[in-house]
Amino acid sequence: MPTPPHPEDQTVKRSGFAIGMRFTSAIALVLALTAAGCMSLAPPYQRPALPVPDAWPADAPADSTTSTPQIDWRSYFPDARLQVLIDQALAHNRDQRIAVQRVEEARASYGIRRADAFPTIAAGGAYAHFRAPGVLLPTGTIEGNVYQVGLTESNWELDFWGRVRSLKDAALEQFLASDASRRAVTISLIANVADNYLVLREFDERIALAQATIASRAESLRIFRRRYEVGAISRLDLRQSEILLQQAQTLMAQLEQSRAAAAHALDLLVGAPSTVLPEPLDDTSVRPELRVGLPSALLEQRPDIVAAEHQLRAANANISAARAAFFPRVTLTGTVGMVSTDLQNLFASGSGAWIFTPNVSLPIFDAGRTRSNLELALARQSEAVAQYEKTIQQAFRDVADALSARQWLADQVRTERDTLAAQSERARLVALRYDSGATPFMEVLDAQRDLLNAQQQLVQTRRALLASRVALYAALGGGVPDTMQTPPPSSGDSTQKQDPLP
């Protein structure tokens, strides 16, 4: 049969349980009182007014919608080969990885600040063997042991003035700012990959045009050599035909070098070797239209603006923490447990012990350190306002530049297509006139040069038009795959934001 519990053991268990419950209840009561009594000394947050006009410039035409829904990058860049490159870049690009790790750093920093609002309770045990000489005690020499186990809470600050909470809020805003910066890096990465891909396609088409020109001029030079051999043309005409071919070959070498550099740049962005087979520039690689909306829509769409506003909120919270440093700081230290001079009686009835030590400190003289900390927080808040306004102005310019480029480059493409058609007809007519002896070969030389330049210029302008669409996508905030769910910016108190930690 099982041995019934000894009455003394039950007394020990009840005693230890009661002490632990009293200590836990006391901690819970203090937590509730602190939460109810703390106050915030932060200045009321107000979003600064837009330092830009309410509408886009006249030279940057846009629709008048009040909002711009973010479009997913896969929908905006329908080219399947480009989508593969962007996927690879999002997975392997080192700048992207650095941005993600900075978010994790900010998350961990917030966790540290959040933990400051709670008491730190540690369990421990101690053993001491002591001897006190008889010259110090009237009872003579004393020698013995002390055994101790218990729970300890060290220097927990009661946040009456909101200092700890303000530091936690500042860390939360820094986390949200770092996450917005990560999304800004992602959008920039997508735009850079698309730009470099378009540059490669531009060089591929220009190289193909140069190759066709080289082949045509090489055949013309062969014919001219035969004519020169039979005395039908002068030596000057032969040399000018050779110059035409050499110019095309020089252009070909320059284009090949530039394409190689662009391919290396794309490899760096992708983060791994990429194989992009030569293909001509496709005018449908980027969607032609994108709704723009009003400048105010950028406040919620541009990640860099969102990050700047979170930095501003963090600066506000730091002002509150700096102001709270002028008020008394109350900290608590306590220990509860069992103490005995004999190990076997450590948990016996009557061995419970506790100590509770509140501490109040008020700064009196610190050589101006507290005042300087407040002035530093105020200066950083003013700097954050200026940085926020500058970010908005830069975003306004980015969108205006992209809108203007989209309009005028489209006009240039139409004009250059007409110019190319005219140059092609001119080169054909001049060649006929030369064959009939009505014009010198110098006119043929000029016409061929102008035709090649027109062909190359049209490809460059087409690529610039596509690049302006990419720039507009990035300037409006884009649409990125967001694997980390973070709350949107709020117009209220930052403490109402979703906690990023589980």
* Half-sphere exposure at residue 311, Cβ-oriented, CA atoms within 13 angstroms: 21
CATH of domain 46-119+177-329+379-496: 1.20.1600.10
DSSP secondary structure of 441-466: HHHHHHHHHHHHHHHHHHHHHHHHHH
Residue 168: name the closest of 119, 114, 120, 115 by CA.
114
First to last CA, the chain: 48
Q: What was the pLDDT predicted at 203?
A: 96
Residue 350 φ/ψ region, left for φ over 0, alpha for ψ in the -120 to 50 degree band, beta for the rest: left
Q: What is the pLDDT of residue 156?
A: 84
Q: What is the pLDDT, as a whole number, of residue 38?
A: 57
Phi and psi for 331 in degrees, rounded to 5?
-125, 150
Report the SS3 class of residue 439. Answer: coil
- Give the rounded distance of the alpha carbon of 12 from its chain centre: 58
Q: Name the residue type at position 81.
A: R
Distance between CA atoms of residues 318 and 378, nearest Å: 9
Amino acid code (one letter) for 140? G
User: 473, 490, 63, 87: which is closest to 294 by C-alpha?
Assistant: 63
Helix axes 80-92, 94-115, angle to 10 degrees: 50
For the beta carbon of residue 138, count every other beta carbon within 10 angstroms. Answer: 5
* Max CA pair span of the chain: 138
Q: b/e for 163-190, b at 16 or more Cβ within 10 A? A: bbbbbbbbbbbbbbbbbbbbbbbbbbbb
Q: Report the predicted TM-score, pTM, of the whole model to 2 decimal places.
A: 0.81
Matching residue, tokens 């000057």: 236
Residues in the chain: 502
Spell out the domain ranges in the chain: 46-119+177-329+379-496
Confidence at residue 176, expressed as pLDDT on a 0 to 100 scale: 94
Quote the CA–CA distance of 35 and 159 in Å, as a whole number. Answer: 8
Residue 499, CB-side half-sphere exposure with 13 Å CA sphere: 7
User: What's residue 480's pLDDT?
Assistant: 55
CA 362 – CA 230 distance, rounded (Å)? 109
What's the gap between Cα 475 and its chain centre? 14
Q: Please choose, from the candidates 466, 17, 468, the residue with its C-alpha nearest in 3D space to the C-alpha of residue 198.
A: 466
Residue 63's pLDDT is: 63
Q: What angle do CA 485, 289, 51 make, to 5 degrees?
A: 65
Do 339 and 147 touch, CB atoms closer than 8 A? yes
What confidence score (pLDDT) does residue 253 get? Answer: 96
H-run or E-run covering 412: helix 369-435
CA distance readout (Å), 460 to 202, 278, 283, 428, 457: 7, 16, 12, 24, 5
Concatenating the DSSP letter of every residue in 282-341 gives: -TTSS-S------GGGHHHH-HHHHHHHHHHHHHHHHHHHHHHTTS-EEEEEEEEEEEES
Radius of gyration, alpha carbons of the chain: 38
List the one residue out of 115, 113, 116, 118 whose CA is nearest residue 27: 118
Whether 299 contacts 474, CB under 8 Å: no
What is the rounded distance in angstroms from the CA atom of residue 312 to the CA atom of residue 481? 26
Per DSSP, what are the bridge partners of residue 153? 121, 334
Q: What is the mean pLDDT of each run of 10 residues along the chain (502 residues)?
A: 44 43 48 52 82 80 58 88 93 92 92 87 85 72 82 83 89 93 93 95 95 91 89 88 92 95 93 84 86 79 92 92 88 85 78 84 87 92 93 92 91 95 93 86 88 95 95 83 43 52 64
How far apart CA 269 and CA 500 sit, in angstroms, is: 30
